[in-house]
Structure 1
Amino acid sequence: MLKVVVVDDEPLARKGMLYRLGEFKELTVVAECANGKEAIDAIAAHQPDLVFLDVEMPGINGFAVIEHLQNQQLPMPYIIFVTAYDHYALAAFDVNAIDYVLKPVEAERLKLAVDKAIKVFDSRDDQKHKSQLAQVVSRLTGDAADTILERLSNEEPVVDSRYPDAISIKDSGEITRVMVIDIDWVDAAGDYMCIHTRDGQTHILRKTMKELEQELDPRLFVRVHRSAIVNVNTIVKLQMLPNGEHQLMLSNDQTVKVSRSYKDRVKQVFKGA
C-alpha cells in the first residue's frame, strides 16, 4: 500500500480525486489538504509515498510546496501534479515529478499515472530489498555487499555453494536438519561434537572436529581451540584473563576459552570488523 496525500484548494476537485483514488487497492489516502501550508504540514507528519499536488493554489502553489520541502530537508515523496494547464507539464518534470494529470481528471489518464507510480515504487522497493539482503548476506559470509549486489543483478548464486547450508544429525532413529547459520558454537566431547544452536538446543554429532571444520565456511566460523569452533557473528568481545589467557564472550552470554595457538585467528575476526 502506498500512502497518499491529496492537495487541491477546490473542494469539489479534491472530493472527485478522493473518489477516483478509492478504486485503487494499492493506495491509501492518509490526508487531504486545501492549501500549500496544509500540504507541507501533512507531508512532514505522514511522510507519504505519493502526493497528488495541485499546481495553481493561492499563497503557496504546488511548485512552492516542493521548494519548501527541499529547503526544510523533509523526506521528498513522489509527486503527480494536477493542473488545468498543459504548459505546466515541462516544469513538473523539471522537479522530478512522476507524472501530471489535467483537470478535469479522466479515469483512464489517472490510471496511467497511478500505474506509473506503482512501477516506480516496485523498482525502488526491489532495489531496497536487494540492498538489505546484500547487507545480511555480507555479515553472514564476509563477502562485500557490492559483490553480492553484482551477483544478484547477474542472477548468480549469492552464497558460495561449496559449504552446506545445513547439517544432518542422526539420533535415536531420527535425523535432525540443523541450519548452519543457526549454530552459535561447537565443542568436542570425546568422540562426539556438541552443536549449540541459537534457540538454546544442543545436538550431538558423531564426527571429529577436523571433519566438521572442513564442512563449515571459514568466513563464518573460526576455530578458537582444538575442541571449539565459534560462529563469528555470535562473538561480542575478546577478554584477557588475569592469568594471561583469553576467552570469548558470546551473544548468548556463553564464554569460550581461546587457546594460544588459535589466538591470532580470533584476532583476525576483530581486525576485519
Structure 2
Amino acid sequence: MIRTLIVDDEPLARRGLELRLAGQPDVEVVAQAGNGREAGFAIAALKPDLMFLDIQMPEMDGFALLRSLPAESLPLTVFVTAYDQYALDAFAACAVDYLLKPVEEARLAQALQTVRERLRAREAGGDRDRLLRLLARVSGKADLTLADALAQEEAEPAAPPRLAIRDGNRTVRLDPDTIRWIDAAGDYLCIHTAEENFVIRATMREMEQRLDPRRFQRIHRSTIVNLACVRELRSHLNGEYFVTLESGQTLKLSRSYKDKVHLLH
C-alpha cells in the first residue's frame, strides 16, 4: 500500500482528495494535516510514502515544510495548488508532480502512476536512498536535512538535474544534456535540442546561473553552447572564432569571450 498524507489548510480540499484517492486500491490515506507544522509531526510519526502538499498555507508554506524535513524522511511529494506560478520552484524542489486545483482525474491518475514507478525504483535500490547513504558516508551525518543534501550534492554532483522551463502554457522538465545551444532574442531565449526547440522568457544571465558551467559556456552575449556538442573550432578575424557543433550548426565566439577558447578544445 502507498501510505499517503494529505496536507492542505482547506478542509474541503482535503476531504475531496481523500474521496478521490479512496478509489485507488493501492493507496491508503494514513493522515491529514491542515498546516506545515502538523504535517511535520505526521511525517515523523507515520513515515508516509507519499504526500499531497498545498503550497500556500499559514505560518509554514509547503516549500518551508520540505526545507525543514530530514532528507531521509522525505516522502514523495505531489504539489496540489490553485496557482500555477509555483511550478518551476516545485520541480526544483524535486516534486513528483504539480497538480492544479480543481484536480483533473486524468492528471491525478498520471501523478499516481509516476509515484508507483518511483516507489518501485526505490525498492530496487533507488537513487534517493543511494544518494543519502553516500552523503552520510561523506559527511558522517545520518540526519541530513534537504538543504544539507542539496549542498553536498552540489559539491559532488552526479547526473545534472532536469531544468523546469515554462514554454508557452506548458511546463517542461528538460534534461540539460539534450540541449545543444541557447540563443537570445530580446527578452526571450530559444533552447535548441535535437528533438525540439523551446522559447522561454528569461535572460542569458539567469540561464547561465541554472546551468552547470562545466557543461555549458557562454561564447557570445547572445549564445550559450553545450561543450559536449562542439565538433570544431576555427579562428576568424579580429580574435573571433567559429564554433561548429556535431549537428553542423555554426555559432560565433566573440572577442569578448575569447578566454573561453581553451574550454572548447
Query: What TM-score results when the alignment is normalised by the length of structure 1?
Result: 0.45
Larger radius of gyration: 1
* Structure having greater relative contact order (Cα 8 Å, sep ≥ 6): 2
Query: What TM-score results when the alignment is normalised by the length of structure 2?
Result: 0.46
